[in-house]
Structure 1
């Protein structure tokens, strides 16, 4: 059996176009083909998790059964008795597989047997459902629709992270041919833009330039202009590669009549670090904001653990970005990356409050905006240098040479 990772091989897109044609024709005629969509999803999941990746496929099946049973059990139990400890237990159980997958390499030096491509995004979806059941936002549990939501194949590997209620509305809606034509137009644009990002620009920065500047930075050692070049080249590669994947996922979702939310919105045009996080990997940013930051802040205020609102916000930022750092991996540079962004946002808040209080002292014009964009861009690129782990490699290289 062949194995094709999502959006990595040109043949993947050939198979996609052939498989999605019946769905597209049906949508243009105002009809739904849920049964066929399910078959297509299964086929492409088989392509991604079959063949040499069969062990990941087994892990995915076990994981999905566990999460669907957990969400369903919590929904039905909550109808009888709403207790906080049951809710907390459900959330903890939902994230345990992801924690095991993240911790195992750091502890044992090899990947976890229960790991598979996209486990993070599926976990975020499952936890989201538990929390929205707790809030009363999800009023009924449909196992089949939950499976469709969790296993929606265009977004399974790299997001974006959709919301259950939004997905459900699109999935159940009888398509309007005129509306679908607009989605089709956007889908084609996003897919072609994704090709530009992923297969041209990311190739130039990641395959052609990055190995060279990496080699030169290591040969010079320490702080050099080659290290600065590496920082910028890596940042561009990271953006175009990830944004290209996201555009593919959104475009394919649109072809299937599902308006998956966008993941990037010109992040390098942000004028401060807070705005950057409203533009970069937006579905992840908003997920962490809604399900971690806001709930933590509300908990602190409700329990009156702290009185100062600024201090509460800062504790929220530190907690949020530390969790984000640990989520990326149990290495010092991921944790420092998280702390770096928490500190950057805290300082940004200080600056914005000061600027608001003394607004007469600070002009607002095109030059100041460009300066703010330039500063933010460099603050972000330096964080990506930390994130890349290259500083760790550079330090190790220098120690070996000496």
Structure 2
């Protein structure tokens, strides 16, 4: 067997095309071969986790069994006729669902040389799906549990490693429905289009910025960094731009592959990026960047935290609660990326900018005539937001850690 990283190896796409043909033919005849889709997903999971990643594959199996049993148990408990609304059981279910991810994320703090045996490619995104399922069950939006459908949702292979993060009810709606031939031809056209744009983004533009340009600019920036105390130089600005472009095109390209393959399989997985660098403030940016993740954090962390604070009257000011919610939200997001200082600073930086943006929007609302709203001010807002985001990505890249601490 050959170990294949999703959407990284040309051979992966060759196998993918062969595997998709029966699905495409079936869909054109308005038939969904669910047994084949299950076999197809299983074969690609074997390809991903075979060879040197066999340990990760075993961890995935154990994780899946644990999370399926946990979710089944909570759905069954929650949908009982009586006495099924205890907050403590809900909290326990959420804690248990994220426990494997927490172990994987924090193990490096105690043993940097040996990653957790529970870790595998995509554990974060699978955990987000499970937590979402439990929370929507708590809210009464999910009233039954079908183990086969849940497994299809959880282990849907186009999105298993890095998203986009789908929602159970939306996924099952597509999975249960077989589109008409005309509708499927539209999905097929969009799917192929997304895959082609993905190739442009990831293998051409991402390769240019990340492989050809970025390493050379980083070398120059490191050399120039020795000539002054802070390591500031125009080459550092170049690193900021090059890394930001690489991060976007590489990740957006990957997401387009996942969305495109999903469409070809008749599943309309949500788009992850929507022209994020055209945002006119940081709030708008998070409505366009890695949207399924940012919406997940918004719905399941920020909104629930704010609601809890208001319900229990922890603070009188709703503005203070919202600001504290931003700090909690982005601090968790930063720590989720990693426990190093630059991920945490990245999160706190975005929380600060969000708080300042809210303050500015409130000020503008009270003083509408102070700064006119026209094409020029909108362009300037986009430019300013773009540079704020790029600076945050420079922090996120870890290059400042290398520049300031790695060689001093």
| TM-score bracket relative to the smaller structure | over 0.9
Asked if the contact 1:218–1:397 (Cα under 8 Å) also holds between the matched residues in 2, the reply is: no
Equivalence for 2:16: 16
Q: Answer yes or no: is 1:200 the counterpart of 2:204.
A: yes
Give unmatched runs, 5+ long, in structure 2.
Answer: 226-230
Please state how far the C-alpha of 1:361 moved relative to its aligned partner: 1.8
Contact kept in structure 1, 2:79 and 2:143, CA below 8 Å? no
Measure the CA separation in 2 of the matches of 1:278 and 1:174.
Answer: 30
Find the counterpart in structure 2 of residue 25 from structure 1.
25
Aligned Cα RMSD in Å? 0.8
The answer as to 2:323 corresponding to 1:319 is no
Give 4+ residue runs of structure 1 displaced > 4 Å after superposition: none
Counterpart pick for 1:88 among 83, 86, 91: 91
Match of 2:142 among 134, 138, 143: 138
> Who is 1:101 aligned against?
104
Task: Please name the residue that 1:255 is paired with.
Answer: 264
> How far off is 1:115 after superposition?
0.4
| Equivalent position of 2:346 in the other structure | 337
Task: State yes or no: 1:393 paired with 2:402.
Answer: yes
Find the counterpart in structure 2 of residue 188 from structure 1. 192
CA deviation after TM superposition for structure 1 residue 78, in Å:
2.0
2:233 is aligned, of 200, 224, 231, to: 224
Map of 1:111 onto structure 2: 115
Taking structure 1 as the reference length, the TM-score comes to: 0.98
TM superposition shift of 1:363: 1.4
Equivalent pair of 1:32/1:175 in contact (CA under 8 Å): no
Aligned positions of 1:141-290 closer than 5 A: 141-221=145-225, 222-290=231-299
Paired residues in the alignment total: 399
Query: Cα 1:397–1:330, aligned 2, differ >3 Å: closer, same or farther?
Result: closer
Name the SS for the 2:79 alignment partner: helix
> What is the match of residue 363 of structure 1?
372
- 1:398 offset after TM fit, Å? 4.0
Q: Unaligned 5+ residue runs, structure 1?
A: none
CA distance in 2, matches of 1:79, 1:26: 36
Give CA deviations for 1:183-230 in whole Å, capped at 9, x if unaligned.
111111100000000000000000001110111100010000011100
TM-score under structure 2 length normalisation: 0.97
